[in-house]
Amino acid sequence: MNSTAETKIRAYKEAVNKKLDEYLKIQYPEEIWESMRYSVLAGGKRIRPVLTLETCNVLSGSYEKALPAACAIEMLHCQSLIHDDLPCMDNDDYRRGKLTNHKVFGESTAVLAGDALLSFAPQMIIQHTVCDDSVKLKILEEFLINAGAEKLIAGQVVDIASEGKQISKETLDFIHKNKTGALFKLSLRIGAILGGADEKILTALTEFAEKLGLAFQISDDILDETATIETLGKTPHKDKAAGKVTYLSFYGMEEAKKRLAFLCESACDILEEHGIKSEVLKEIALSINERVR
Ligand code: GRG
């Protein structure tokens, strides 16, 4: 990876980790905060908050304004992972190379930790974002729509309902667009709104996010098939075992890799076409393709 982009990404991650640690201080009753902290501070690539910070930075020259929202998006992502790992959903014992939340804290606390993160996240946006109220309302709306039954939850519901069934390409696209794509879109859009993007740039970055989200899910599907528990940090080969139709099972390895490369290249083209000069966004797009090579 380009070393300037790498240095910037490292700095963004450090800023996010520090803020998350600060926001999630232990309060009474300790058990719930410990459970929330366990999953949120368990590592993770922090790709979504990095996207938010860089987008705000490239448009406005600073990223700090987007830090509370970037942390909120990571909390939402962690909530979705905690719930996804539960026995009633994807049922996994490992996440980010550690035991899953319910394995350590029990199912009831894991459910509550997810719920708590979901309401604590927008609370952080409200309390800590320094911007006009109209802008705050707009980013909160984006957050709540993407976290809810129209996006993230819709994707998860159709994903679960599709297990063991032959599904159409449209249904597969619907699952990916919502289950994974919604948070990528949210990350870029909130960064862009806080960075003061005009409608044209906001639309371009939304298209960039759509391509990135789909590319990321294709790479995730491929890694589920090819990676080990050590590199993946969670149990591999779960899609096949659950009878899931994935990009890989639908298109085959060669075509899935071709589509992945094409999506990452065309995401970079969008940046170029709109004069969005971000080595970080470009490098993230390229690194999603490189994950599976
Ligand atoms: C919002 C109430 C509410 C529920 C959410 C459980 C659920 C509904 C959705 C699950 C969504 C899900 C787990 C999608 C998978 C997305 C994905 C590819 C996750 C892996 O992301 P990485 O690789 O993980 O960025 P790290 O650990 O690096 O952060």
Phi and psi at residue 100, to the nearest 5°: -70, 165
CATH number at residue 100: 1.10.600.10
For 54, left (φ over 0), alpha (ψ -120 to 50), or beta? Answer: alpha
Ligand 1 centroid to residue 148 C-alpha, Å: 13
- In Å, how far from its chain's centre is CA 7? 21
Helix (H, G, I), strand (E, B) or coil at 186: helix
- Distance separating alpha carbons of residues 156 and 88, to the nearest angstrom: 12
What would the pLDDT profile of 149-200 be if each residue is shown by its tens digit? 999 999 999 999 999 999 999 999 999 999 999 999 999 999 999 999 999 9
Residue 20 has pLDDT above 80, yes or no: yes
Residue-number span of the structural domain to which 284 is assigned: 3-290
Q: Which atom of ligand 1 is nearest to the CA of 95?
A: 27
| Counted domains in the chain | 1
Ligand 1 centroid to residue 273 C-alpha, Å: 31
pLDDT band with cut points at 50, 70 and 90 for residue 77: very high
**Contact of 217 with 247, CB cutoff 8 Å:** yes
- Distance separating alpha carbons of residues 33 and 26, to the nearest angstrom: 5
Phi and psi at residue 27, to the nearest 5°: -130, 175
Helix (H, G, I), strand (E, B) or coil at 281: helix
Q: Which atom of ligand 1 is nearest to the CA of 74?
A: 29
Ligand 1 centroid to residue 79 C-alpha, Å: 8
pLDDT band with cut points at 50, 70 and 90 for residue 134: very high
- Distance separating alpha carbons of residues 128 and 147, to the nearest angstrom: 20
As a whole number, mean pLDDT of residues 63-83 equals 98
Q: Which atom of ligand 1 is nearest to the CA of 83?
A: 6
Considering the chain, what percentage of its residues have pLDDT values greater than 70? 100
pLDDT band with cut points at 50, 70 and 90 for residue 89: very high
- Distance separating alpha carbons of residues 280 and 63, to the nearest angstrom: 13
pLDDT at 167: 93
Task: Report which protein residue has its CA nearest ligand 1's atom 16.
Answer: 180
Residue 267 has pLDDT above 90, yes or no: yes
Token pair listed for 267: 């995401």
Ligand 1 centroid to residue 82 C-alpha, Å: 8
Q: Which atom of ligand 1 is nearest to the CA of 81?
A: 13
pLDDT band with cut points at 50, 70 and 90 for residue 234: confident
